Chain A
Amino acid sequence: MRCCGELIPWFGWCLRDDEVNIRYLRPCMFLVRLFKHDRIAAIIVSALLLGFIYLNYKWGFVATPLLQYGMYSQPVPIEGERTIYRILDAKGIDHMPRLHFSERDQLTHYLNGMSNLSNNDHIRSVFMPVLSMLHIANPPSKFGIQDSPLEKSGKWLGERVRKWINENSRDKVIRFERSAYVWNGSKLIPSQPNKLIYAYFPKR
């Protein structure tokens, strides 16, 4: 019995509880033992497992807690432009190099989002049919997947940055700019002039 079980995983159904510890069958045997102990739990775990495999095979969207863990899996060319953000005060001084690592990360994250609002249209086009099918995407205004408008996000970020750079004066403008850099073999050098994303006027 045991020998057959080793060769054909699902033959393990015939094994006794104390026999289902065969090394080669562990993943299947775990489900068998779980099924014998709690059928509902086994069905849920099997469904989650299949969902995890499907989402990873499908490659496009996830459904937390079923996630993809493929960060930096694709080839990343050394050539090509990298986006760098800058925060300039009224005197034109760039405060980005003086910020703490975590502050830079936050700023880059939020400015990336503010610069890629079109991403929302893609997300909407993918999920709208599903949510409509479930009758929960109606009316669309309640859908609520759009980033807040640039003006609102910009004000919020401007206030954060004012705190980080100790800018107390409310008369002075803070400009968020984006520039492109390329790797020249030893360092990153600018390849394009800066572009203004948003100018924050605290007084307004």
Chain B
Amino acid sequence: MPIFRRDKALEKILSVYLICFLGWIGWVYSCEAFLSQVQPTHIQNRLDLTLNLLLSTGIHEWLVNQPSLCYLLDILFLTHPLILLASVRLPNFARITWVVVAFNLCYALLGSCYTLLSIQLWIGWFFIPLLFTTRDEKSTGLSIEGMRYAFLLIFLSAGLWKIRAGGIFDTHVMSGVLITQHATELALSPDNLHTQFIAWMIKQPLISYTLYFLGTMIELSFFVGLFTKKWDRLLSWGLIFFIIMDILLMRINYAAWLAFVPIILEAKKVHHTANSTPRTEQ
């Protein structure tokens, strides 16, 4: 069993975080979803208490009249990994990280109400930096484990929702979902190769439902992770498969969630710190 070393674990997590973040930047830029690209005008509110607390400060009205502030916020968000890296050896590193987390949370809330990117896509950017608020081996190990549990619960809850809301019990659900998700393409570009594939899937409810069922099973399988870390590698592959299928079939880009994969894998080593005797999984 590999031994958990704080620096190495954080290094791995940060490397994948940076790669995912660079990919995210490219994608957000192509969606014209940075605040400076949007030039905030159109606010779409939702039933989110934290967002409404933020909006009640009037920051969104302020941003509309301050294009330069939008650029500043974008720059701060884009450079936050560099800020984390630069301040890693400073004595007040944890405080700086908390500021980065709070800033990323606010930026994500604003970004999700001004643009088409839903808040669920942003979670990695305000959850993962939390790992860098700790200094010692044990605290970091516990943070990584906690983050792993949080992500397992997020994924598991998505599966439970499909049972509670009844989607899993409707064999035509995926056909309906595909029509809703690709309505514009199906109506206006029916000759496109991808659209033809989607139309074929809609006409094969059994095949499309099988994929929906498989996706739900992947989500529910994260329940196992609450009790053992033995299957973490398999769960990670399940997550990667789920994300790829989401992009190909639904054109929903959850690739930013790949930043959680090294956290799931590193959590496995947490019990085996350099100072402790390695134990076998029970």
Contact = CB atoms under 8 A, between A and B. Distances in A.
Contacts of B20: none
**Chain B interface: which size bin?**
35 or more
A156 B49 contact: no
Nearest to B219: A69
Contacts of B49: 61-63, 127, 130
B250 to A, nearest CB: 8
Contact of B228 (A26, A61, A71, A181): A26
A181 B61 contact: no
B144 to A, nearest CB: 11
A176 to B, nearest CB: 13
Interface in A141-197: 142-148, 152-153, 156-157, 160, 181, 183, 185-188, 190
Majority secondary structure of chain B interface residues (helix, strand, loop or mixed): helix
Contacts of B55: 143-145
Contacts of B154: 67, 69
A152 B187 CA distance: 29
A145 B146 contact: no
Nearest to B46: A123
B270 to A, nearest CB: 10
Contacts of A156: 39, 41-42
A21 B222 CA distance: 19
B45 interface: yes
B23 interface: no
A136 interface: yes
Interface string A58-98: 00111111011111111111100011110000000010110
B188 interface: yes
A199 interface: no
Nearest to A185: B203
Interface of B: 30-32, 39, 41-53, 55-58, 60-61, 64, 105, 108-109, 115-116, 119-120, 123, 126-127, 138-139, 142, 145-146, 149, 153-155, 157-158, 160-162, 164-167, 169-170, 172-173, 175-177, 179-181, 183-190, 199, 202-203, 226-228, 251-252, 271, 276, 279, 281-282
Given A27-B227, A69-B154, A104-B185, 9 more contacts: A37-B142, A52-B157, A64-B119, A73-B166, A76-B173, A109-B115, A113-B42, A123-B45, A144-B58
